[in-house]
Amino acid sequence: MVETKTAVVAFGGNALIMKDEPGLQEAQMAHADKLAAVLLRFIEKGYRLLLVHGNGPQVGNSLIRMEESVTKVPALSLDACVAMTEGSIGFFLELSFRNALAGIGDGRDVVTVLTPVEVSAEDPRIKNPSKPIGPFYSGYRADYLVRMFDWDLVEDAGRGYRRVVASPKPIRIVNEGLVRVLLEHAAVVIAGGGGGIPVTRDGQGWRGLEAVIDKDYTAALMSEVVDAELFINLTAVDHVSVDFGMETERRLEKITVSEAERHLRDGQFPPGSMGPKIDASIAFCREKGGTVLITSVEALAEALQGNAGTLIVPDEESS
């Protein structure tokens, strides 16, 4: 009998809405099918999968729908929009993985979990929103939105004004016990979508926050919750590099967690791109002693053969 292991797989919402695509439902489902076909290889190798997806393009589109329809129906808050995209993306992924499993005669279940994630109301990132979200606006439109919705908007490199929201660090997966139980009985669990729904607790009980959580940090937290052996972070590049974009650019094939920490301190991984992925990978390696694979969806099959991707391993596995 093959021993069952757990892999947490993190990927952005742009795995389903590629650059310059309008985000048609049919196209997103087709991308989900391709993702399921590749990740099926891990299931065949004895892994059960916990998927943590981003929702950047999808929640941006949801906010546009809210804004455009506000004169006809009441708009929903950002945390509600995150919950909506958790459900819709989870639906696409569920269908794709159910079909993929049926193709190999695997009758196990696939399930999506709406996932409240606790953040601290005292997190300084809440008082200093900096995460860009949604479309660009003209100065006139931006002024209206500030007055109408009390949004924070900033000018973005001459392209117009864009809303910025808080992006606090996750503290705890509120329904973590449920996630663990479901993973014992399912081949694939989809949880923490969009980084999870940000919630906090005060004297009145639980309440949602107009914020977004970085899915990489939530994925690392999930890895600890489910005691994962492997953390796969799918991104836009086939591998991690240092001196990216320079003549001295160097591909990293396998590095230790200490080497990753050094490169992060040296500023090799910017906060707006590779930084959170490396930071989350370091946390996983330190806490669980597991292995991290960073690569693209397209290169994942090659990475399984050791011909692509970047591995981050505990220091004692450096040889």
Catalytic residues: 13-14, 131, 215, 277
Give one word for 137, left, alpha or beta, with left for phi > 0 and alpha for psi -120 to 50. Answer: beta
Q: Give bridge partners of residue 116 from the DSSP assignment.
A: 197
**Is 132:163 a contact under the CB 8 Å cutoff?**
yes
**Is 286:216 a contact under the CB 8 Å cutoff?**
no
User: What is the C-alpha separation between 279 and 298, in angstroms, rounded?
Assistant: 23
**Is 110:101 a contact under the CB 8 Å cutoff?**
yes
Q: What is the DSSP letter of 317?
A: G
Structure tokens at 119: 């953040």
Task: Using DSSP, state whether 23 is helix, strand or coil.
Answer: coil
Give Cα 217 to chain centroid, integer Å. Answer: 8
Distance between first and last Cα of the chain: 30
Q: How many CB atoms lie within 10 A of CB 305?
A: 8
Give φ, ψ of 177 to 5 degrees.
-60, -40
Structure tokens at 303: 């990475």
Q: What is the DSSP string of 110-153?
A: EEEE--EEE--TT-HHHHS--EEEEEEE-HHHHHHHHHHH---E
- 169-178 burial, b at 16+ Cβ within 10 Å, e below that, comes to ebeebbbbee
